[in-house]
Structure 1
Amino acid sequence: MKVREIVDSIIRETGVILDQGRTVDQIIIGDPDTEVTKTVTTFMATVDVILEAVRLGANFIITHEPTWFNGRDEKEWLLNDPVYMKKKQLIEENHLVIWRFHDYMHAVSDDMIYQGFEQDMGWGEYKERSKISQEEKNPLMKARLCYQIPEMKLKDLVMKVKESLEVKCARVIGNQEGICHRVGVLVGGGSLGLGNEKNTMEFMRRENIDTVICGDITEWTLSAYIRDASMLGLNKSMIIIGHERSEESGMKHLVSWLKQLLPEQTVSFIDAKEPFDYL
């Protein structure tokens, strides 16, 4: 199959219709008429991921996040940049095609990135799926991101998150002996509020959440709110694992979805890994 055919099949299967002039889900680089040898999925097409794809004999990379260091993968500002030029050369010399699969994954009725998170955490049965009013304006409330898990101490939940998601280092706010039961999960940039930084605190209050697991964080919003709450004696806590660790699971479990959709294709996962070393 050609890249174009695979992309069309994937989009059709999601059942989602997006404005092609606005979505970031585009062929980022390469010829869409390329015949696909093998396909790999990943959180982000870093140089390490590209080299591993080449080693595996894959020529089609499905990435969730940008290749060109900005949210919309705009590259005009990079044309004379040495990092861009060398990375582009590496991709082109190996005849790779990179397609971004982001907006469609989040737009399906059961967010595909969250599906991966739930599988790795073993939390599918704990997700609350109550109906939300059509008039609801807070996107975090609409997305139903609350899990009612068996009670456990914060320190034990931290260990479970680290083991289940292969997190090297988690930042934590709250009493280590505090009880976690109603957990809000805000993967990736969801913890920034999705357009309004107040949304996160409103989400936590209205859902009566005691613990938030999140990707990115702005240090004067939700983390400050939870820190103050904890210092005031309220049972509130937070586990910050970063954008990549909170979303990579979705790209790992995308492989089985793709194999069902495209059984004749060879598909595998490459872990982009945490972007940091911890000293």
Structure 2
Amino acid sequence: MSTVQDILNKLTEPVEPLASTVDGLEFGDASTVVTGIVTAFMATQEVLEQALAVGANLIIAHEGTFYSHQNKGVPWRENPVYRRKQALIQESGIAIYRFHDYLHRYQPDGIMIGLLQELGWTSYKIEHRPSASIVTIPTNTVREVAKWVKRKLDIPYVRVVGDISMPCSQIGLLAGYRGGGTLSIPLFEEANLDLVIAGEGPEWETPEYVRDAVHQRRRKALILLGHAYSEEPGMKHLAKRIKDGFPGVPVRFISGKHVFQVV
């Protein structure tokens, strides 16, 4: 029988201990014997209810439970939504482990590996960097790449900046909140990129850089997937990894519904 601590030790094993991290057991007892595990982008109330329904008593989530990157000291602890969700967690006794920084520091990045696998791009030439992966695919248009990404990730829509008829082959992948100018703009030039595919970032940074680049007749484009859609594949891949390490423990990935609607 494996305890919560056994699982956590295995998850953090590939990385040297981090002096500062948001990762940690947010709820639950580390000595609890694990009856089932759910991995998810975030422990939303819907994910919590589904996990309890299938008998899981450990959720491994990439993002924080209560709407903030830093869960400690959030100012809305008396908010009724917060309190109802917290009550469900405490009454159920379920353990929730935040697994963010360590997973991103896997070699290669654990989230990125899941995204590449889900996109079906692992057989192409790939250069892994600390915050991005550079992928060389057969030349295609931005429009066709966008269609491919939507189909492979089961995304209802993506947002695109640039000429969608532009041919591209050299792509920079940046999962999560790495689509800002600090990372993306230098990457365009350093890696000679045609296209950046990112989760999200400030709209006044990389999108505006691409707008000006296109106006100058430079071949640049940007596809924004949304934060959750860019990182969920990594948590799906993590579920498979945990199954291999703990074959006697039921493990499943639960995808949250897309939070935004197009109206």
Q: TM (normalized to structure 1)?
A: 0.89
Q: Cα offset for 1:231?
A: 2.4
Secondary structure of 2:56 counterpart: coil
Aligned to 1:252: 236
State the identity as a percent.
35
Q: 1:233 aligns with which of 203, 217, 220?
A: 217
Aligned to 1:104: 102
Q: Deviations over 1:64-94 (max 9, x none)?
A: 0110111121145333221211000111222
Aligned to 2:258: 274
Tell me if 1:17 matches 2:17.
yes
Q: Structure 1 residues 252-261 or 77-86, which shifts more?
A: 77-86
How large is the RMSD of aligned CA atoms in angstroms?
A: 1.5
Q: Cα offset for 1:232?
A: 2.3
Aligned to 2:140: 152
Q: Structure 1 residues 261-270 or 71-80, which shifts more?
A: 71-80
Tell me if 1:221 matches 2:209.
no
Q: 1:178 aligns with which of 166, 185, 199?
A: 166
Q: Deviations over 1:137-159 (max 9, x none)?
A: xxxx6545211110001111010
Residues 172 and 238 in structure 1, CA contact (< 8 A), matched pair in contact too: yes
Residues 109 and 130 in structure 2, CA contact (< 8 A), matched pair in contact too: no
Aligned to 2:6: 5
Aligned to 1:212: 196
Aligned to 1:121: 119
Q: What is the number of residues matched between the two proteins?
A: 262
Question: Which ranges of 4 or more aligned residues in structure 1 deviate by more than 4 Å?
Answer: 141-144
Secondary structure of 2:75 counterpart: helix
Q: Cα offset for 1:126?
A: 2.3
After superposition, the Cα gap between the structure-2 partners of 1:127 and 1:75, relative to the gap in structure 1 and judged at 3 Å, is farther
Q: Deviations over 1:189-227 (max 9, x none)?
A: 1112xxxx4332111111110101111121221110111
Secondary structure of 2:86 counterpart: helix
Aligned to 1:77: 75
Secondary structure of 1:125 counterpart: coil
Q: TM (normalized to structure 2)?
A: 0.95
After superposition, the Cα gap between the structure-2 partners of 1:88 and 1:256, relative to the gap in structure 1 and judged at 3 Å, is same
Q: 2:90 aligns with which of 86, 89, 92?
A: 92
